[in-house]
Structure 1
């Protein structure tokens, strides 16, 4: 047998093991509300190849690929335990077991590592929490995809309705079609049908009522069987407490805005300040995509080096707020053709940093250039640090933060020398540090941070909604602090 034959045989064996993992992962998710992760990346509803690729990602951590032959025994051990709702990271289990010197079996070690989710310690499955989307544009449809993907056992978040303005003939069919196919993010993973008689879109079995209204005051959500719902406003029409309070109608308990909040509306960046949300807070904002991109790495740099001052320049993909061709716009430059020009504009991300990181005393300024790409942006964060350092030290720090810290769902890291914006479409992280572009000299550090300003931001929104709804279950083994 040739070397090539050996490699192919090894691949086929790993494919077979990955195939055997899929029904176990699915059953844990459906029946026990357990999400199986691999180094913070979900394995639920993933294909054989996706599972193998996610294992290969472990090279970033251990310096060598993690094999499915290493993680399958831990997965099998989980099936023997009386597990409650939780997130369990197979990659962290394998890594911590390897470092453990007590001679425990995999079954014994796994039972100990996830003991907080078993037996008398386990959390009981919570009732599903109703969610309403007010608006169904770019962010609204991606949030809908994520909510449907995460429906799982039915005990988590349940997308019950979307609210839109009437759009004339075949409105329901057209909106379903926009959910089904996306020019940037591809096909919806599942099936979508339209029930015009009942005014619903049925996506992977989730019945989503389409409510037509021109103003929040027109709606009583209890008429649709909706109660204690979290309403996600992705229109951006109202940004202060007074305006967003209009959504607090019968059936709605909390309002989450997918744009920077004004006045005393809390601006939340999950991973940084979400644990500061007061239990009785009914109105909050998820800030902007750019704020979510820069605040986690800014916190990582502040915690390690201290930040004296900084400037962020965002090179941002164009959005629906701009014109396709030159036409009237209330903002001068945004009236010029988006796909034909680079357009200098403002960003509120720098001023929003103070809300998300109130302890940061450094002055942060910012500006933005819109460019002719439909998705994925890059933030260039230029920082004066409180102490001198080196490029190698900064990259080692950010790499470690992205892999093992509580910010690992927010910060990703790439050392690919040929990385370009399209490579990050579909990234679930708030931002991705580009190692090759990073520059450090003395007390000055310049970070290049890629981010999918549509999908990555939508993932951050979902994390906030999960947190305020109480369905963000603990992760085992617990991440290092």
Structure 2
């Protein structure tokens, strides 16, 4: 057999195995609320090719690419267990099994590794928690897609309503069309229909009421059967506690802002300080996309090396706040044409670090340049460290953080030699370390951090909402 024939035969064999994994993954998710991961990447609702590509990601780990032939036995072992709601990482199971020298079978090792989610230890499945989106712009629609995607088990978060201002004729159809098609993020994965008589968008079976209102005070959410809901404000119109409190209407329990909060509103970066949220806190912020991009790697570097001071320069894609053509804008420079210019502007990300990392005493400064790309930005984080190190040590450390630490859902890592911004559209991580661009000289380090400022940030928002709603299930095996 030639090399080409052997390679093709191997591919077809792996395709067949990946196909056999899909119904197992789906059944675990629907019937037991178990999300199957591979090195923190969900395999739920993924295609054959997506499953194979996710396995190939593991080539960044020592030992090379992970094969579906290695992970299938662990997946099959899960089906024999009395599992409760959880997230189970096949990649970590396979990696830890390789280093285990006790001679256990795959089934025995798996049962031990996920014992916290089985039998008497398993937690109860949560009742569906209502979610309302106030505003339906770029972030609102992506958050909606994520909520619909995660509704497969019938538990957890359930998108019940969207609040918008009336837009005139065919408003509902136009908003559904924007949810269905996105110039950057592609087609919605599923079906969408519109019931104009009841002002409802039905997406993958989820009936989402569209409520027209000009102000929060006009709405009684209980009139729509919505109770104890989490409201996600995507407008940014209100950013302090007083303004956001106007959302606390009948039917709304908590308010989450998708912009930096002001005053005493907690700014939360999931993975870093989400565990500081008080149970009785009703109003909180998910900070900004740039804050979410820089805080996790900044924490990782401070934990290992100490950070004495830093500066972040964000090269940021243009946003809807800017003008397409030169026109009046209340802010300096943002009135100039976004698709034609690089625009120097301010960023509050550096000052927001103090809210998310209060123990970090290092001064952090920041500035920003908006550039003519529609999505994906890069943060250049320049740090003075507490000790000298090498480029190789820093890269090995950050790769390990991205694979095995509690920050693995926030920090990704790429060694691609020709990576550019469009490669990271749709990334679910808060930021991606570009290994090839990283610079280290003694106690000075410069990290280049890509981030999908729309989708990656929306994933962080969902993680915060899952946490405060109680449907953020534990992951097994636990991160080291």
**Above 0.5 in TM-score?**
yes
- Matched position secondary structure for 2:254: strand
Distance of 1:62 and 1:69 partners within structure 2: 18
Indicate whether 1:242 and 2:242 are aligned.
yes
| 1:280-306 per-position Cα deviation (integer Å, ceiling 9, x unaligned) | 000000000000000000000100111
| 1:147-167 per-position Cα deviation (integer Å, ceiling 9, x unaligned) | 000002111100000000000
Distance of 1:312 and 1:423 partners within structure 2: 22
Indicate whether 1:33 and 2:33 are aligned.
yes
Q: CA deviation at 1:124?
A: 1.1
- Matched position secondary structure for 2:189: coil
Distance of 1:225 and 1:237 partners within structure 2: 26
Q: CA deviation at 1:442?
A: 1.1
- Matched position secondary structure for 1:230: strand
| 1:107-147 per-position Cα deviation (integer Å, ceiling 9, x unaligned) | 11111111111111111111010000000000000000000
Q: CA deviation at 1:253?
A: 0.2
Structure 2: gaps of 5 or more residues: none
- Matched position secondary structure for 1:187: coil
- Matched position secondary structure for 2:239: coil
Distance of 2:425 and 2:398 partners within structure 1: 21
Distance of 1:93 and 1:397 partners within structure 2: 21
RMSD (CA atoms): 0.6
- Matched position secondary structure for 1:20: helix
Distance of 2:170 and 2:423 partners within structure 1: 35
- Matched position secondary structure for 1:62: coil
Distance of 1:77 and 1:297 partners within structure 2: 35
- Matched position secondary structure for 1:222: helix
- Matched position secondary structure for 1:448: strand
Distance of 2:356 and 2:52 partners within structure 1: 37
Indicate whether 1:42 and 2:28 are aligned.
no
Q: CA deviation at 1:61?
A: 1.3
Distance of 1:56 and 1:367 partners within structure 2: 36
- Matched position secondary structure for 1:460: helix
Distance of 2:50 and 2:141 partners within structure 1: 23
| 1:214-236 per-position Cα deviation (integer Å, ceiling 9, x unaligned) | 00000000000000000000100
Q: CA deviation at 1:338?
A: 0.2
- Matched position secondary structure for 2:339: helix
| 1:190-245 per-position Cα deviation (integer Å, ceiling 9, x unaligned) | 00000111110000000000000000000000000000000000100000000000
Q: CA deviation at 1:62?
A: 2.9
Q: CA deviation at 1:361?
A: 0.2
| 1:405-447 per-position Cα deviation (integer Å, ceiling 9, x unaligned) | 0000000011111000000000000000111111111111111
- Matched position secondary structure for 2:61: helix
- Matched position secondary structure for 1:429: coil
Q: CA deviation at 1:394?
A: 0.9
| 1:243-263 per-position Cα deviation (integer Å, ceiling 9, x unaligned) | 000000000000000000000
Structure 1 length normalisation: TM-score?
Answer: 0.99
Q: CA deviation at 1:388?
A: 1.0
- Matched position secondary structure for 1:186: coil
The answer to which of 92-101 and 238-247 deviates more is 92-101
Matching residue of 1:349? 349
Q: CA deviation at 1:332?
A: 2.2
Q: CA deviation at 1:99?
A: 0.9
Matching residue of 2:119? 119
Distance of 1:93 and 1:49 partners within structure 2: 22
Distance of 1:58 and 1:148 partners within structure 2: 28
Return structure 1 stretches of 4+ with deviation > 2 angstroms: none
| 1:359-391 per-position Cα deviation (integer Å, ceiling 9, x unaligned) | 000000000000000000000011111111111
Q: CA deviation at 1:63?
A: 3.2
Q: CA deviation at 1:2?
A: 1.5
Structure 2 length normalisation: TM-score?
Answer: 0.99
